Amino acid sequence: MPYLIAYLLIINAMGLLFMHMDKEKARKNKWRISENTLLTIAALGGSVGSLWGMYLFRHKTRHLKFTLGIPAILALQLVACVILISI
């Protein structure tokens, strides 16, 4: 259990950090982090950090892929947690 908590803290910090880094790169017209990478981080457990980063940095909030996709990923992860806990 401590390893799972540590993993979730790290992956969510990555989601938040990658949203911030991509926003800064967008502002400076530099090479960007791919949308697939951002969504993969969310899918691997970083959905809370990614969602927080989206709205904290106002990044990707006009893209349906993110405004619907990341909350959907989070919802699926919550359902999976409930199922795993109830087994």
Position 1 scores a pLDDT of 86
Over the stretch 20-73, which tens digit does the pLDDT of each residue have?
999 999 999 999 999 999 999 999 999 999 999 999 999 999 999 999 999 999
Position 13 scores a pLDDT of 98
Which ranges of 1-87 does DSSP label H, i.e. alpha helix? 2-27, 35-41, 47-56, 64-67, 69-86
What pTM value is reported for the model? 0.92
Give per-residue burial for 18-53: e unless 16+ CB within 10 Å, then b: bbebbbeeeeeeeeeeeeeebbebbbebbbbbbbbb
Q: Look at the alpha carbons of 58, 60, 63, 64 in this order and tell me if their dihedral is positive or negative.
A: negative
Domain ranges in the chain are 2-86
Position 52 scores a pLDDT of 98
Position 29 scores a pLDDT of 96
